[in-house]
Structure 1
């Protein structure tokens, strides 16, 4: 069965997010003052052939730990759909 897996990778909350800071500055320059913080991350969609949703999640987690996210600077969340 083919599963669609969404991987969201975000910078660790403890670290400065330079892209987010640049965007918040741009928004404020445009007069949009209500937004207090911006964090920029990645959304990755994987199509995984696996026997079960748990196996698809395990494959996605392995791929994310090995290549898609830098654990020193980022955390990730995985969501599996059929």
Structure 2
């Protein structure tokens, strides 16, 4: 079994209203000095295979087709 973590974040230059809202809320709660917040998402996957190379190919296909909107998001795959 292969376990992987996929982290999806907005590309630089893409507006992040949720990140801005979190940044404002942190400031309102007294957490001063937070310069910028960017929001993202994390997917933990388990694949029923022992072939690491094949798992990476499949996970990248999952990201391209469903997990990430590659027009505005980047993704990173980590085998864990």
Structure-to-structure mapping, 1:16-55, within 5 angstroms: 16-55=15-54
Aligned-pair distance for 1:51? Answer: 3.9
Instruction: State TM-score, norm by structure 1.
Output: 0.91
The Cα shift of 1:33 comes to 1.3
The 4+ residue runs of structure 1 with deviation greater than 6 A are: none
Q: Report deviation, 1:50.
A: 2.4
Residue 66 of structure 1 pairs with residue 71 of structure 2: no
- Name structure 2 gaps, 5 residues minimum: none
For residues 30 and 51 of structure 1, what CA distance do their matches in structure 2 show?
A: 46
32-41 vs 48-57, which deviates more? Answer: 48-57
Structure 1 residues not aligned, in runs of 5+: none
> How big is the alpha-carbon RMSD for the aligned residues of Structure 1 and Structure 2?
1.0
Deviation of 1:35 (Å) = 1.0
